[in-house]
Amino acid sequence: MYRLLLCLLLLTQLAHADDGYRLWLKYDLINDIPRRTAYARSAQFIAANKPSPVLQSAVTELQTGLQGLLGKAVPVVAQSGSRTGGIVLTVAPSGADVQGLNDEGYRIVRRQNNIVISAKTDAGALYGAFALLRHLQTGQPIDQVSLTSNPKVKLRMLNHWDNPNGAIERGYAGGTLWKWYELPETVDPRYRDYARANASLGINGTVVNNVNASPRLLTGEYLQKVAALANVFRPYGIKVYLSVYFAAPKTLGGLKTSDPLDPQVRQWWADKVNEIHRYIPDFGGFLVKANSEGEPGPQDYGRTHADGANMLAAAMKPYSGLVIWRAFVYKADPKADRFKAAHEEFTPLDGQFDPKVIVQVKNGPIDFQPREPFSPLFGNMPKTPLGIEFQITQEYLGFATHTVYEAPLFKECLEADTYVNGKGSTVAKVVDGSVHGYRNAGPTQTLMAGVANTGSDRNWTGNPLAQANWYAFGRLAWDHTLSSDAIANEWTRMTLTSEPQAVKRITNLLLKSRDIYVDYNTPLGLSRPWTGVHFAPEPWQNNSSRPDWTAVYYHRADSVGLGFDRTPTGSNALAQYRPEVRRQWENPETCPLPYLLWFHHVPWTKPLSSGRTLWNELCTRFYTGADSVQWMRREWAQVKSAVDPALFADVSGRLDTQYKEALWWRDAWVLYLQTFARQPIPAPFKKPDRTLTDVKKSVDIYLLR
Ligand code: GCV
């Protein structure tokens, strides 16, 4: 008997061994018996008032979730009738239950001893079902449950930079999830789990291929594969979008040109859009990277971005699909400031885009740096719906090795005030349409996109803690007012542990991780979009086909000081911001320290508001940043007994590597900058054990193919 019990215990543990695959949708049995009993009393059946694929997903998810949490099967009935003590899903376009809800919102209330999830659409009901499960997973009381939530942004989307050959550009968690060579005949069950995870956050769109797009995706062969994915995603309220190669009419269609004003080219796209819709009737639309980093675009024919986007919009006219046109552009002009490029190219086009076009703008003006000021495009194109693009994958944030929780980075941008319509015109309010009321420009289309950090690794994101970034992006795309703290806490409880001390520690570690990273990597407004790999420290790099692909272009270290002068004495990029923002940032005394070197060339000996000179402050940040990784390791060690052993070991190993690499970054920067500053490392910090030559050698080796 005793042996049998032991075996059963072991089996239960094995069944729940945490390889990270289940993400935050774990639905483990609730051990707290009074709570489990209370939940079970309220979940004796699930009733749904109409059959539809999306509603069926809601029901199936509730069944799966409740079975796991309560340890028993919950029956599904078509009508609740006079029964009470169950969960009732109701979808109705109007009525008291759905008052104040938008199309995808939900309301959960307790009525006549039932828990009623109401929504105007099936998708709303699906999001409500996930919200209820989240409520239970995080241990909230069920008796007086009352939740109402509306998404603030209409299009909440992942962008996959996945190539047809299976590799992911800037992907650090294995290869692509899409098994192109097996599709459409073989449909990996994982696609459904991907859709479930996204739907649980409210993500309702996915661009399945890289913005550096292969024309292959537009062939009939590949459209069938994409259609197979769309079929899996549809019952989860997720639409499929494609990145397109602007020169496809030439490459695929055999035309002489891809000029957007050429009638044959326009016809080619119209035909292609028709063909796509034969495979995918609810196709979401196109995402386009044009005339950027060597990609073809309308400027190749003397046309504008608006000409290019509007041509695709015209092709899309008979359908509901959209054209999402990226504003990530910069030219190889040695005299130009890359910071200014997108604003310079796009603001003159404001008002010229078709209502079907959304312009997608990266959060910062350069390229997903560990810390960037918000892009000055936000607020400055009042007649054009602007979507925001964040990067979830950690291109500049230490790949999948370094633990960097990104919600504070996303929030910092979303909460930044553009002042475009007076105080309080935050980036979030520009993006959610409330500042400019994008309705005037056409259909209300508001967009938040995140470059995905998923891959074929069993745990989806490589670093198990990086799942929190996918989660945080989705939650903020739904509701940008949620706090980083609340999201981290919620994710930890759903994913790692419910032990209160451990939850507190992990949440705190996550919250501090981004500032720690910035301190040892790019403190005080340094940036590092140099070299191809975006991982190794190489601040000395000064040799490339174009100046803005060198390190020295960005930091501008010299014998006087450090930083890029973007005031009127320099590139004057600050003129692209509203006076309220400009005034604060233009003055080195009032410019916040985190942005200082983005805008000023600061003398090494200048005392900063911290009381230290620039050089001493830099050293302090580099050293304390690296030391703080030791703190992260200690904190993580404290949660050992509260988390799964394999996951614990995995994260521990990554933190060890992170510490090693934080020292690498610190030493590279400090030793290199010291050759300009010509000052000693201030006490109490000790000079690095290695020399600059040693570091350079190690970087050269790292960069060897
Ligand atoms: C998909 C950066 C990245 C590129 C990426 C590009 C973009 O330059 O390094 O890999 O290309 O941004 O966003 O288009």
Q: Are 345 and 305 in contact (CB under 8 A)?
A: yes
Residues with CB under 6 A from ligand 1: 161, 169-170, 210-212, 289, 293, 328, 367
Q: What average pLDDT does the segment 389-410 reach?
A: 98
pLDDT at residue number 439: 53
pLDDT at residue number 131: 98
pLDDT at residue number 12: 46
Q: What average pLDDT does the segment 594-622 reach?
A: 98
Confidence at 434, pLDDT banded by 50, 70, 90: very high
3-state secondary structure 582-639: HHHHHCCCCCCHHHHHHHCCEECCCECCCCCEHHHHHHHHHHHHHHHHHHHHHHHHHC
DSSP structure string for 134-197: HHHHTT--STT-EEEE--SSSEEEEE--B-TTS-BTT--SSS-S--TTTTTT---THHHHHHHH
Known catalytic membership, residue 367: yes
Q: What average pLDDT does the segment 552-577 reach?
A: 98
Angle at the Cα of 539 (from 534 to 541), degrees rounded to 5? Answer: 85
Output the CA torsion 563→567→573→579 (10° steps).
Answer: 130
Q: Do domains 21-148 and 155-495 have the same CATH topology?
A: no
How far apart are alpha carbons 678 and 670 in whole angstroms?
11
Confidence at 584, pLDDT banded by 50, 70, 90: very high
Q: What average pLDDT does the segment 267-274 reach?
A: 98
* pLDDT single digits (tens) 109-168: 999 899 999 999 999 999 999 999 999 999 999 998 999 999 999 999 999 999 999 999
Catalytic residue from among 367, 372, 406, 586: 367
Structure tokens at 73: 């099967």
Expressed in angstroms and rounded, the spacing between residue 111 Cα and the centre of ligand 1 is 51
Known catalytic membership, residue 395: yes
pLDDT at residue number 1: 47
Expressed in angstroms and rounded, the spacing between residue 368 Cα and the centre of ligand 1 is 9
Atom 12 of ligand 1, residue of closest alpha carbon: 367
How far apart are alpha carbons 656 and 403 in whole angstroms?
11
Catalytic residue from among 19, 282, 293, 700: 293
**Domain extent listing, the chain:** 21-148, 155-495, 518-564+601-703
The residue with greater pLDDT, 447 or 51, is 447
pLDDT at residue number 473: 99
pLDDT beyond 80 at 573 = yes
pLDDT beyond 60 at 10 = no
Q: Are 406 and 397 in contact (CB under 8 A)?
A: yes
Known catalytic membership, residue 295: no
Q: Are 452 and 460 in contact (CB under 8 A)?
A: no
DSSP structure string for 416-452: -B--BTBTT-BHHHHHTTTTT-GGGGSS---EEEEE-
Measured from the Cα of 170, ligand 1's closest atom is 10
Give 90's strand partners.
118
Q: What average pLDDT does the segment 642-664 reach?
A: 98
Q: Are 342 and 305 in contact (CB under 8 A)?
A: no
C-alpha distances in Å from residue 684, one per residue of 201, 620, 669, 687:
46, 9, 18, 10
Phi/psi of residue 157, each to 5°? -135, 145
How far apart are alpha carbons 649 and 688 in whole angstroms?
29
pLDDT at residue number 329: 96
C-alpha distances in Å from residue 341, one per residue of 377, 396, 449, 484, 689:
10, 21, 21, 31, 41
Measured from the Cα of 391, ligand 1's closest atom is 13
pLDDT beyond 90 at 180 = yes
Confidence at 509, pLDDT banded by 50, 70, 90: very high
Omega prior to 684 cis, within 30 of 0: yes
Give 156's strand partners.
448
* pLDDT single digits (tens) 308-360: 999 999 999 999 999 999 999 998 888 899 999 999 999 999 999 999 999 99
* pLDDT single digits (tens) 67-117: 999 999 999 998 878 889 999 999 999 999 999 999 999 999 999 899 999
The per-residue b/e assignment along 121-134, b for 16 or more CB within 10 angstroms, e otherwise, is bbbbbbbbbbbbbb
Measured from the Cα of 395, ligand 1's closest atom is 9
Expressed in angstroms and rounded, the spacing between residue 308 Cα and the centre of ligand 1 is 20
Which residue from 358, 346, 220 is spatially nearest to 284, judged by alpha carbons? 358
Measured from the Cα of 451, ligand 1's closest atom is 13
Say which amino acid occupies 51: P
pLDDT at residue number 11: 45
Catalytic residue from among 354, 395, 432, 519: 395
Least confident of 341-350, 501-510, 524-533: 524-533
Structure tokens at 87: 């969960």
CATH number for the domain formed by residue range(s) 155-495: 3.20.20.80
pLDDT beyond 70 at 583 = yes
User: What superfamily does domain 518-564+601-703 belong to in CATH?
Assistant: Alpha-glucuronidase, C-terminal domain (3.90.1330.10)
pLDDT beyond 70 at 515 = yes
* pLDDT single digits (tens) 626-638: 999 999 999 999 9
Ligand 1 pocket: which of 168, 170, 245 to mutate (most atoms within 8 A of CB): 170
* pLDDT single digits (tens) 292-306: 999 999 999 999 999
Say which amino acid occupies 592: P
Instruction: Tell me the three state secondary structure of residue 324.
Output: strand
User: What superfamily does domain 21-148 belong to in CATH?
Assistant: Chitobiase/beta-hexosaminidase domain 2-like (3.30.379.10)
Indicate yes or no: pTM above 0.95: yes
Mean pLDDT of the chain: 95
